[in-house]
Structure 1
């Protein structure tokens, strides 16, 4: 799958270098509503963020290719309560995974300023931390642990979304990134986990 994504990226850039009519650069930032799917139990959404740069390469008046370079914070939260012999124990946790992400989106303008988009994404894991807090029966403990060794260094996904760009260059976008690869390291064939992220972005094209 890694070779497939690299070939797709190379083909996109090679095609745009030959046929591009115009290239515009910009920046974007926004909100991530992330969770971990698959066999990861008790996963709830984690609110985080993304920020980075974009280049929109116009192939025609209707079609463009948009590579991006993003700092992308994703993960999941957990919150569960359980009783043991009359004692109620509450446990809360957050897994925060920070990636350098490289999406390559194909965009099609369906109307003036309005576009739909889809394309692959590769992410390189920079850090992974788990924050936890356990309390109950007069007992309380909290901590922050580095768990980067529990996750694979590369993640693959596929994004689909829509956007609106104003004449001033200000733009807005919604995107859903579906995880395609198992991010769990050495978890065995019976366990899988994927990053799934809904993004709301605001950007500016120069």
Structure 2
């Protein structure tokens, strides 16, 4: 009797694992970032950067799932004409780059097979400290960023095409507390489901 129960339990585990594996897909993606650093001493203009990385689709039902990702995001910014007035030693009208390792975890809802609505948090780790903002090379940005994002993805077989809006919730200013700086922008991407 015990052998039979163990055998049935093993079969149930195998079948449940197989059905879960059918709901798990992996892929790669790349695209464009159109971002700005939102703050009084930065120019109110969006700059182009890029994103690339990998994603997993974990489908719980035909309509609901999650999509965790690991992404390399390059965000470009430009300081304003009065940056040096607000922050002594700061450089006016300087272009710079911030490279983040970003980990979004998105809830995905698919009202139709070809369409997914996605939203969730994103955690970012700053990989470079752009030291062009200050004459003395002082580090200006915090090492982490927390954002919310939401968007739409078209599912065309194994090809994914999407767009998102990202709004930073955390202050990335590591100089002082005179003003808050937040990442803000749009992402466009093309993805390919491999598995």
Taking structure 1 as the reference length, the TM-score comes to: 0.73
Gaps of 5+ in 2: 1-16, 83-91
Match of 1:181 among 162, 170, 173: 170
The CA distance in 2 between the partners of 1:47 and 1:154, in whole Å, is 21
**Residue of structure 2 equivalent to 1:202:** 190
Confirm or deny that 1:193 pairs with 2:181: yes
User: Which structure dedicates a bigger proportion of its chain to strand?
Assistant: 1
Any conservation in 1 of the 2:30–2:53 contact (CA below 8 Å)? yes
Confirm or deny that 1:161 pairs with 2:165: no
Match of 1:151 among 118, 141, 148: 141
Corresponding pairs, count: 167
Structure 2 counterpart SS, 1:161: strand
- Cα deviation for residue 47 of structure 1 reads 0.5
Two-structure CA RMSD over aligned residues (Å): 2.6
- Cα deviation for residue 146 of structure 1 reads 5.8
Map 1:10-159; keep pairs closer than 5 Å.
20=20, 22-78=23-79, 92-129=93-130, 149-159=139-149
The CA distance in 2 between the partners of 1:51 and 1:187, in whole Å, is 32
Cα deviation digits, residues 71-98 of structure 1 (max 9, x gap): 11113125759xxxxxxxxx64212110
Taking a change above 3 Å as real, the CA distance of residues 130 and 43 of structure 1, as seen in their structure-2 partners, is farther
Any conservation in 2 of the 1:28–1:53 contact (CA below 8 Å)? yes
- Cα deviation for residue 43 of structure 1 reads 3.5
Higher CA-based Rg: 2
Taking structure 2 as the reference length, the TM-score comes to: 0.77
